[in-house]
Structure 1
């Protein structure tokens, strides 16, 4: 018998001062049996960083043709493709051909550093691609906040993220390894 996804519910109160975007989001995340709490929470962080009324979670791990999150415009055009982790360069090249903007939010400490060293020159050719890295200590602290039901408050200012949940406060600062258009 196949293992089923574990459902997580998150109430996210977001104040993104960098983009002047504010909102309350009721999110349902399905954690694939092979997914860790760390990856789940990095997906949630990716949502917070790029939140919009059209951004949604996708099948991600379960489907090679879908990212972890994507944003479609009203006419069905793919505006933003967001990958979490250490995706294959070929996959990112394909995504850049499909979406107006592609974002990678990598994590994993040394593994992420090695992935970046191996792929940096090829990825630099992708003008639509932004690559952010969340340091290992921060992604692990983020994983510690994972609960089946979460009430989160998130403030983003000058690239820094302050996240609060049940009295726990985190300060996260994703490092920009590559910005679209550079």
Structure 2
């Protein structure tokens, strides 16, 4: 854990009807002083929406060669490279070559995130998806974040329903292709 990090806990349930994934959540998330609540919440949502055996948060800012979230198979090989925010194309290119799949979750305008990669090498760019949420969703939900959080994440028909500390939020999950 980085010096100056604030620990947040998220306990609750995950019900991803679209993927048939259901589990209890007990997450400890270190938020570095330079990390916004919007980035942290997007990281937590990426973890939930990509939940699979072997999923883990990386060391975050302290780790320059890993994404915010990753999935490893039982041998330790990275199978999913999950970036958060607006990663540069070189980092994403590396991750897409290393893992079976790469995906980006962003709390920013996905069109601007994708535009920054145009004309730059991007391994399997046609397979790369950027996922975002309806306008204002992340900003509204961050107002409910505390140090200890109860959370319920539900997904059905491409729509995200979030209950965070007794407040409810919902938004479509928007998918943008890196390159058509």
- TM-score normalised by the chain length of structure 1: 0.88
Question: Which residue of the other structure, out of 114, 127, 134, is the alignment partner of 1:116?
Answer: 114
The question of whether the paired residues in 2 share the 8 Å contact of 1:107 and 1:135 is answered with: no
CA distance in 2, matches of 1:135, 1:162: 12
1:113-167 Cα deviation digits (max 9, x unpaired):
3232232564585244221123441110121121110111111011111011232
Bigger share in helix: 1
Cα RMSD after superposing both structures? 2.2
Which blocks of at least 5 consecutive residues in structure 2 are unaligned? none
State the SS of the aligned residue for 1:65. coil
Q: What residue number does 1:37 align with?
A: 37
Deviation at 1:92, TM superposition (A): 0.5
Query: Structure 1 residues 101 and 125, CA, compared in 2 at 3 Å: closer, same or farther?
Result: closer
Contact 2:129/2:178 (8 A) holds in 1: yes
- The number of aligned residues is 178
CA apart distance, 1:65: 0.5
Q: TM-score, normalized by length of structure 2? A: 0.89
User: Which 5+ residue runs of structure 1 have no aligned equivalent?
Assistant: none
Asked if the contact 2:85–2:107 (Cα under 8 Å) also holds between the matched residues in 1, the reply is yes
Aligned to 2:99: 99
SS in 1 for 2:18: coil
Using a 3 Å threshold, how does the CA distance of structure 1 residues 171 and 124 change in structure 2: closer, same or farther? farther
